[in-house]
Amino acid sequence: MMLEIRLLGNCNVVYDGRAINTLHDSPRLQALLAYLALHCDAPQPRRQIAYLFWPESTEKQARTNLRKLLLQLRRALPNAEQFLTDTQQTIQWQPAAPFWLDVADLQALLAKLQRDPEDLALLTHLHELYRGELLPNCYDEWVLRLRQHLHDAVT
């Protein structure tokens, strides 16, 4: 069973053909899902994520907020244990889990286009995939930077 994660344009997460609506109403939950899926190559330190998401909070409050948000994400995702593993120090989205991420595909296409910028099939696929800005309802600094980078690369 495949989890499809679309972060470009309106966030849309589908598991086994069914939309996971609980993610649609929470930009913060979408951002955590996005951050973990985009950084699945290595376990992410909880402390770093907490600071990134709640830079104005104390470390204790930020870590509490992260625990609560991670619990919400686990509840929202069917078979969450297949996609997420965590320890007291880290959280990781499992790179071997059956998921598809539009941003990862877009980044791969951009890399291919650097080698062959005239490939019409790649350009067509790129514009089909780029359905809008990354997480348009999220204004975290890391999202804004990546959003701008992707926008600049596509346009």
**pLDDT tens figures, 95-116:** 999 999 999 999 999 999 989 8
Is 1 a member of any domain?
Answer: no
Is 8 a member of any domain?
Answer: no
- Determine the structural domain holding residue 74 and report its residue range: 25-98
Distance CA(96)–CA(47), nearest Å, equals: 24
Is 121 a member of any domain?
Answer: no
Burial string for 115-142 (b: 16+ CB within 10 Å, else e) reads: eeeeeeebeebbeebbeebbbeebebee
Is 155 a member of any domain?
Answer: no
Q: What is the CATH number of the domain that holds 83?
A: 1.10.10
Please answer whether residues 129 and 108 qualify as being in contact, where contact means their C-beta atoms are separated by less than 8 angstroms: no
Q: How many structural domains is the chain composed of? A: 1
Q: Is this structure's pTM higher than 0.75?
A: yes
Is 33 a member of any domain?
Answer: yes
Distance CA(142)–CA(155), nearest Å, equals: 20
Q: Residue 118: is its pLDDT beyond 90?
A: no
Per-residue pLDDT tens for 10-37? Answer: 899 999 999 998 888 889 999 999 999 9
CA neighbor of 67 nearest in space, from 95, 47, 43: 47
pLDDT of residue 21: 87
Is 61 a member of any domain?
Answer: yes
Work out the average pLDDT over 127-142: 93
Q: Please give the structure tokens belonging to residue 78.
A: 């069917």
Is 41 a member of any domain?
Answer: yes
Is 62 a member of any domain?
Answer: yes
Kindly indicate the confidence band of residue 119, based on its pLDDT and cuts at 50, 70 and 90.
confident
